[in-house]
A and B are shown apart, each in its own frame.
Chain A
Amino acid sequence: MPTCLFGGGMKRYLSVLRLFWSTAIAAELEYRLNFLIATLSSLGSLTGSLFGLFLFYRTGYQFQGWGWEEALVVLGIFTLLQGFSATLLVPNLNKIVTQVQEGTLDFVLLKPISSQFWLSSRVISPWGVPDLTFGLVLIVYAGNRLGVGLGAYLLSLIPLLFGLISLYSLWFMLGATSIWFVKIYNVTEVLRGLLEAGRFPIAAYPVAYRVFFTFIIPVAFLTTVPAEAMLNRVEWGWILGSGLLSVILLQSSKFFWRFALRFYTSASS
């Protein structure tokens, strides 16, 4: 039914998404033990991060302008982002390379929906849920101790959303380079390694690092800016910058994908 296939727009994408995710979750639930392992890992990772932060604060040192609880908010947002990437980014974008390698990208391109959408949302993995939960718990715990109001939480959602979009776009562009370089799995590892910097507020770094993590790899926009919004001390310029960045990166990711596809020589042709 061509009208139905090509006309549905947004609604059609939503129903496709529901199908994708229900099958993916059904498949993942076959491995329930993995979920336990993911929870334990997530808990261990959080404990380790807290320990790492504690090593600084136990000496009486503070990241400039960031008390213990405030630094916890940053760590909570970082954990949240980790959960997000484990839920959506890793299971989808890190598989683009397999599609290229095995030539199955052909089938994706033939489907009557946006190939970028298909590649970015085909699978959802419940493995990120523990990280999402612990991240939220940490944020709410620290937020309560700091007396963060509902309005501030809601305000921080705006830069957080921008941050998620930026993160997705960067990750997708790196994944898309696998059109040229097949063994690219580790490009995203490089990005992930650099994103680790988001565990700490950007003020904790020396000047050169701050410049790098704001303008080259926008880590500052991913965790520090949303945290500052939550603490009610963000300047609107930063939120605006964050929004601008996400729009630019998202658009670039679209252009980049179209550009990359021109170089795709499929397995069958």
Chain B
Amino acid sequence: MQRRGRIVRTLLSVYYAYMVEYRAELLLWVLSGTFPLILMGIWAQASESGLLTFQSEEFVRYFLAVFIVRQFTVVWVIWEFEREVLEGKLSAYLLQPIDPVWRHFFGHIAERFARLPFAFILIALFFWLYPQALWVPSPVGLGLGLAAIALAFSLRFLMQYTFALCAFWTERASAIEQFWFLFYLFLSGMIAPLEMFPDAVREAVLWTPFPYLIYFPASLLVGLPVDPWRGLFTMLGWGAFFFLVNRWLWRRGLRQYSGMGA
């Protein structure tokens, strides 16, 4: 246990230092997540017509929450893992007495902390420009929302890492992620709160993992009515499924792997 704690601390501090080194790049990544802010404008404008069930402020808050959730659930493990497999760098990591996944996982976590200041500055700037939208989430909503963000990040990481393992068999595993990303983009609530979807579509989508990656945490943050238990169990269910597939692929993949030095 003590050894584990030490490993975690070391990995976190190493990757934090690494990420802070690339601050400028990080800022650009933060800025490249503007998609929700664009849709915020259109939906806010659309709500002026009075034909929608949401008020303009509700849309603004929702999409700001989407922006925040996006910032903290960004995952890129598949591109790194793919490169490691293709270039044979994985071999060196396999020699270490720790599963290579932790290196990626804590790299992502450390990046969150390095990203935090930028995200806060942007949010402050936003409320300064648009004070009407200012809201304070209820303590329960905030707590649940943060927990949901953590879960959403873990689930997204797990899913992407599972796809990444396909790199043992194919050269462009990232293509799978790119395809999957389309579903994520359109069904996760990034383009609109799920309340705007036709009922049948919404009910179907709620069984997939996608809305729990964005819509669910964002709704908790802004106080839209969602069922926290359903969210929790759906995420755990999909998480368990991907975990099993992941471990199976990992074992098969290592046998398949013939990178340099393996």
Contact = CB atoms under 8 A, between A and B. Distances in A.
Query: Are chains A and B native binding partners rather than an unrelated pairing?
Result: yes
Interface in B92-121: none
B186 A48 contact: yes
A205 B45 contact: yes
Of the listed residues B28, B46, B51, the one surrounded by the most CB atoms of chain A closer than 10 A to its CB is B28
Interface stretch (A21-29, A115-123, A184-192, A238-246): A184-192
Interface string B22-45: 101100110111110010011011
Nearest to A189: B32
SS of A interface (majority):
helix
A262 interface: no
B186 A51 contact: yes
A52 B51 CA distance: 17
Contacts of B28: 184, 186-187, 189-190
22 contacts: A37-B172, A37-B178, A41-B175, A44-B182, A45-B182, A55-B197, A56-B46, A58-B198, A59-B51, A59-B196, A61-B46, A61-B52, A181-B24, A184-B25, A186-B29, A190-B31, A194-B38, A196-B34, A196-B38, A197-B38, A200-B42, A206-B41
A204 B45 contact: yes
Given A194-B38, A205-B45, A209-B38, 10 more contacts: A34-B172, A41-B182, A56-B46, A59-B52, A60-B51, A61-B52, A186-B32, A190-B32, A200-B42, A209-B41
Contacts of A37: 172, 175, 178-179
B25 A186 contact: yes
Contacts of A194: 34, 38
Given A48-B185, A181-B24, A204 B32 contact: no
B176 to A, nearest CB: 8
B213 to A, nearest CB: 15
A27 to B, nearest CB: 14
A14 interface: no
Interface string A197-217: 100100011101100000000
B192 interface: yes
A186 B31 CA distance: 9
A9 interface: no
